[in-house]
Amino acid sequence: MTYSEENYIKAIFHLGIDGVKAVSTNSVAEQMSTKPSSVTDMMKKLSEKGLVNYKKYRGVSLTEKGRILALSIVRKHRLWEVFLVQKLDFSWDEVHEVAEQLEHINSDKLIDKLDELLNFPEYDPHGDPIPAKNGQIKKRDKELLSQMEINSASICVGVKDSSVAFLRFLDKNKIALGNTIRVMEIEEFDNSLHVLIEDRPMHLSQLIASNLYVKKI
Amino acid sequence: MTYSEENYIKAIFHLGIDGVKAVSTNSVAEQMSTKPSSVTDMMKKLSEKGLVNYKKYRGVSLTEKGRILALSIVRKHRLWEVFLVQKLDFSWDEVHEVAEQLEHINSDKLIDKLDELLNFPEYDPHGDPIPAKNGQIKKRDKELLSQMEINSASICVGVKDSSVAFLRFLDKNKIALGNTIRVMEIEEFDNSLHVLIEDRPMHLSQLIASNLYVKKI
DNA sequence: ATATAAATTTAGACAAATCTAAAAATATGT
DNA sequence: ACATATTTTTAGATTTGTCTAAATTTATAT
């Protein structure tokens, strides 16, 4: 597998995450910052290799073989992110770029041993689950903060948007995974939330609330 | 820099290590398992970029800029090797292949932090010095065991040949860096050595002795 | 010194991954 | 339903790194 092939497989995986049957050529092109014609070329190639189901004009999806490959890449990416944060003191907004490179390193022993060094983590620094060696990936039961009711209490377990801008915003406002969040009031006007984060009162816009995953308690 | 360019720079660095003015096209090709014509092409390109001094038919050498780049790649390679051995329990004959991949990962912060995690090691698992961040590389005073005199005592500090076969041989015979070695007798016939390794008598062929670096004590 | 051998470069080709522009297929709105 | 817009594919070009085969330069041996 070339890096490029792996990146396409990963893109299709991420786009097709919520039970979507097939993803469009254009969406893959956008995700990867390439042109649709490049995607078409690559889909033919990956289809030849039995990694994707591709029908002209009908979009593309991963085969079982492709899914397993995608999961192994995601596993590597997320384990490296944990390593960077836990062992090298990276902040959660710095890890993605480096992990994008590290995820292509090819060595089973390396990944198994890294997993062990990190004590078999289940989630990456953004709260996303780390696929097991056999490809199993657990779906955490979580919902968006924006969907919580008044007076509900929850724990922050992940972010939907993991852009540098959003993560820095959270840092600046001392909002971190593991924090407890209680919804005190919902502004009808703009759907913003008055919350208590670890007993600290805060006012969060609807945009913020709809990018934070929480788990009811 | 592409991976390929980096590999050529590294090859020229390793071939030119002992004060050689210029290395030949063929030697680079052999080192990299490519064809001489491919080397010629790449030398033109690296010359354009100011990384090598290249004159047709006259061989090639690194410019200062090229040397600095080479040292940064070697630094990364050797730090990763230390990481693999110290943190992930790799044996010294398993690290090279993986480090060949990891050395191309591009992140200054990653390498600085890795260096720190490993406590600023000076040598890699084979006894080779790790270039400092600024490119400084210390030359350890060492000589081949085969050049030691009778009754001399020394400490094993490195290997010349770091092939899997040689490293496994050393493991099997419990010869490791840091061991003390005393030369008891030299066989005139085949230049083999009778030595005491950590007080354990052993008989080493001339080939073995000429691939072990030691430091007199 | 010069024929021959060896090393190196050149010329031309190829595969991978990308692009642009044009053509074809599909989707959409009234 | 059909004209128009959008999406997707095709055709052909480009760049990078590689190769083979032929030509050229340098080295070597007598």
Nucleotide nearest to A34 (CA to C1'): C18
Q: How far apart are CA B83 and CA B79, in angstroms?
A: 6
Domain boundaries A3-62, corresponding CATH code = 1.10.10.10
Q: What are the residue ranges of CATH 2.30.30.90 in chain B?
A: 143-216
- A26: contact with B, CB 8 A cutoff: no
Q: How far apart are CA A162 and CA A130, in angstroms?
A: 16
Assigned fold of A143-216: SH3 type barrels. (2.30.30)
Tell me which residue in B101, B105, B107 faces A106 most closely, judged by beta carbons: B101
Compute how many other C-beta atoms are within 10 angstroms of the C-beta atom of residue B161.
Answer: 14
Residues of B in contact with A87 (CB under 8 A): 117
Q: Within its chain, how far is the Cα of A59 from the centroid? A: 22
Burial classification of residue B199, based on how many CB atoms lie within 10 Å of its CB (0-12 exposed, 13-18 middle, 19 or more buried): exposed
Where on the phi/psi map is residue B95: left (φ > 0), alpha (ψ -120 to 50), or beta? alpha
Q: What are the residue ranges of CATH 1.10.10.10 in chain A?
A: 3-62
pLDDT digits (tens, 9 = 90+) for B126-175: 999 999 999 999 988 999 999 999 999 999 999 999 999 999 999 999 99
pLDDT digits (tens, 9 = 90+) for A70-118: 999 999 999 999 999 999 999 999 999 999 999 999 999 999 999 999 9
Q: Which amino acid is located at B198 in the chain?
A: E
Tell me which residue in B88, B101, B107 faces A98 most closely, judged by beta carbons: B107
pLDDT band, residue B21 (cuts 50/70/90): confident
* Crossing angle between the packed helical segments B64-86 and B3-15, to the nearest 10 degrees: 100
For residue A46, say whether its CB is under 7 Å from any atom of strand D. Answer: no
What is the signed CA dihedral for B178, B179, B185, B191, rounded to 10 degrees? -60
* Residue A21 scores a pLDDT above 90: no
* Helical (H) or strand (E) element with A61: strand A60-62
- A98: contact with B, CB 8 A cutoff: yes
For residue B57, say whether its CB is under 7 Å from any atom of strand C. Answer: yes
CA angle B126, A101, A164 (to 5 degrees): 130
For residue A41, say whether its CB is under 7 Å from any atom of strand D. Answer: yes
